[in-house]
Amino acid sequence: MSAESPAAPAERRRAVVTGATAGIGAAFTRRLAADGYDLVLVARDERRLAELGAELTDRHGTGVTVLPADLSTPDGCGLVADRLADAAEPVDLLVNNAGISLNRSFLRSTPEAEEKLLRLNVHAVMRLTLAVLPVMTARRRGAVINVSSVSGFGAVMPGSTYPASKAWVTNFSESVALSARPYGVRVLALCPGYTRTEFHERAGIDMSKSPRWLWLRAEDVVDTALRDLGKGRSVSVPDWKYKAAVFALRHAPGGLIRVMARDNRGRIGRPER
């Protein structure tokens, strides 16, 4: 009687997370590591990437590759795109989380600052999604989560181009989701509201006067995103209060939206006269 052959080990899933060292990106890495994913971590700061990778390996036994890259540059974006297009080590989940905002009105901005915002918030999302989808569609499985924002549903931040960039991310994700779904690939736009991260601090935006009840935990945002991804949704808005805000932005009269925008002028520096 011959001995049974040992079962082949299950293939581990692999995820790429951009903007991995802080905020929502870091929350994604910790949740995915706990769920058994091997990870490719992308951010500019190599030291922080290495520290996070060591933490995840020690705690969860996760295989971690760190990929230092500035996605606002052609070289950085190309480096990550090449990794995503590698069919020999395919990626099961891409989280496009890296992004920036500017603490200035468009009326006193610079071409350099605005172009950097577009390269990171828009071009990198497009380029990396385009790089990974051919491999995913060929395998008939995979998912992309593009981190957008509730602010993308309406012009309620006078002078800021951040909401415009996130409006693109949401519409792009919904459109690509329709084309990828027949191949078994899911695409989700994650649209959180105010979330406790380093995001506003890095942009130099003072949020100290914002009510505490407005703020979300990054871990809860990630939980909602993964749950909605599993349900096949193409847009995820965490928390009931932001679902209500999105409904209002989509359906409220234009005059009311303009009043809301006037009340929010203090978030962005006013133009110099």
Sheet holding 185-190, edge to edge: 64-68, 38-43, 14-18, 93-96, 142-147, 185-190, 235-236
3-state helix, strand, coil in the chain (%, to 5): 50, 15, 35
CB 45 within 8 A of CB 68: yes
- The Cα 207–Cα 113 span in angstroms is 21
- The Cα 161–Cα 151 span in angstroms is 10
Question: Which of 37, 162, 194, 242 is the catalytic position?
Answer: 162
Cβ neighbours of residue 256 closer than 8 Å, sequence gap 6 or more: 248
What are the C-alpha distances in Å from 51 to residues 5, 27, 47, 155? 40, 15, 6, 38
- The Cα 100–Cα 47 span in angstroms is 20
Question: Is 242 an active-site residue?
Answer: no
Active site members: 162
